[in-house]
Structure formats: structure tokens, C-alpha cells
Amino acid sequence: MKKILIVSVIVITLNSCFSAKGLPVKTVNESDETAMPKQTNTSNLDHSTWDSLLKKYVATNGDVDYKGLKNDANKLNEYISYLEQQVPKDDWSINTQLAYFINVYNANTIKLILENYPVKSIKDIYNPWLKNRFIIGGKAFSLAGLENGILRKMNEPRIHFAINCASVSCPKLLNEAYTEKNVMALMERATKGFINNSKKNELGINKAKVSEIFKWYKGDFKEDGSIIDYINMYSDVKVSATTEIQYLEYDWSLNKQN
């Protein structure tokens, strides 16, 4: 089982440029991995619409049928509107928060692609990550604001393999919605699947050609050891601690079904 970073479970106010948002964001502690989700009114959050869209339009390898999904854009937009109305509260469990924010990120990334489809890459869209694109608690957020201002502050590196940037080199978009009950198991599955995918990382005892995700967010993976230590928690092949890390060029082509 993954070794969880030991921190206190606290409600924090974002202390970066997103401090004005004032959302009660929690951090993961060692007990959250195995604890049952806290039973609160948040247990009624409904991600079923998103789940059905993912099952219908996302292949098992994570590729997306954007052309088909565009015909169901109204359902996606209704789901995003629903998420915007579910303002995080102090009594939300860490599981509920993680599932909520991951789904917010992924659903809005898909919406961004659909609004510009057909497009060859998310990077062909003007300012895809920094422009404010959705509302939480009456405050506007960008995708980067959600990732860096909220998700990365939750002390959970596995979020990097749960959120999807609609690109070939990204961790795959699962065809299942994250929920309060499954979020820990799905993040674990997504992390292990990504690290052991030979198209994303080339690993051997003395070989470590890895995704640039580990370079861009290296601090998130090194808080309790080295990047190789983190990779070895999930890799089927254990990489020597003395191996020099190299980074594979990121493919930003759209993760669309052929």
C-alpha cells in the first residue's frame, strides 16, 4: 500500500493567489487511505451523469470519442452546472473533496475541447489553462487555478494521474467517475497503470526514462523520498536508486479515438 505523507487533517484557506476563493480545502493524512468516508450530507453528491458519459464515450485506453460526445454536450454542461452549485463545505470528507475536484477538472477539460473541436491539441486553444472557465462558490477558476491552488495543496501526489489534459502523453482518462467511495482505489489504479505503461515511462533496473510530469511537479513526489522512490512504490520493475532520470518528450496530440 502507498505510504501516505503524514500531515494533520486541517481546513485551510488557500494562501497563494487563490486565497480570495476561501474554499475549505482539506489535506490527506495517513488515515484517509483506509478510513471509511465520513457520512455527511455530501454523500448525496451525484456523479452518475458524468459516469454514464465516460462509459459511453471513453475507451478503456483513455481515448475519447469527442465527435460523439459533442452530440451529448448538453448533458456534460448540465453536469458541470450541477458541480458549480455544490459548494465545498467544512464537513466534506477528504474523499468527497478529492472526487469532486478531480471530476470538476476533467469535465471542464472535456468541455474545453468540445467547444473548440475539431482541434489537434489542447495547446492549439488560446490560453487553455490560465483563463477562468468555471465557477465554484461564486468564484471564477481556471484549470491551472484548480490544479495548483487546490488539488496540489491536498497533499496527494496521485491526483497527477487522476486529472487529464486531453493529450496522448497524459495519464489516461478513466471511463468511470470518481466518487466519495471509490476515489482512493481509482487514484491508486490510475497511478499504477500510468507508471507501468511503457508508452508513458520506460523503466528498467538501470533505466528511468519517465514522463515530464515527474519533472514539472517533482516537488510533489519528493517530499518523502526521491522520484525513483515514488516510482518504485508502483513500478513492476524496481529501478536502482542510483539510476539517472531522463525525461521523455511530451506528446500534446489530442487523445481522440481514431
The secondary structure element, H or E, covering residue 109 is helix 94-116
**CA torsion sign, 32 to 35 to 41 to 46?**
positive
Radius of gyration in angstroms for the set of CA atoms belonging to the chain, rounded to a whole number: 18
Distances (CA, A) of 115 to 10, 60, 69, 77, 135: 37, 24, 11, 11, 17
Q: Are 112 and 121 in contact (CB under 8 A)?
A: no
Burial group, residue 40, by CB count within 10 angstroms (0-12, 13-18, 19+):
middle
Q: What is the pLDDT of residue 24?
A: 75
**What's the 3-state SS for 72-89?**
CHHHHHHHHHHHHHCCCC
Report whether the peptide linkage leading into residue 128 is cis, meaning its omega lies within 30 degrees of zero.
no
Per-domain residue ranges of the chain: 11-197
Give the pLDDT of residue 27.
78
Instruction: Give which of 164, 232, 160, 158 is closest to 196, Cα–Cα.
Output: 232
Q: What is the pLDDT at residue 26? A: 77
The pLDDT of residue 28 is 74
Q: Quote the pTM value.
A: 0.87
Q: Which amino acid is at 198?
A: S
What tens digit of pLDDT does each residue of 153-198 get? 999 999 999 999 999 999 999 999 999 999 999 999 999 999 999 9
Q: Which parts of the chain have pLDDT scores under 50?
A: 1-20, 30-31, 33-42
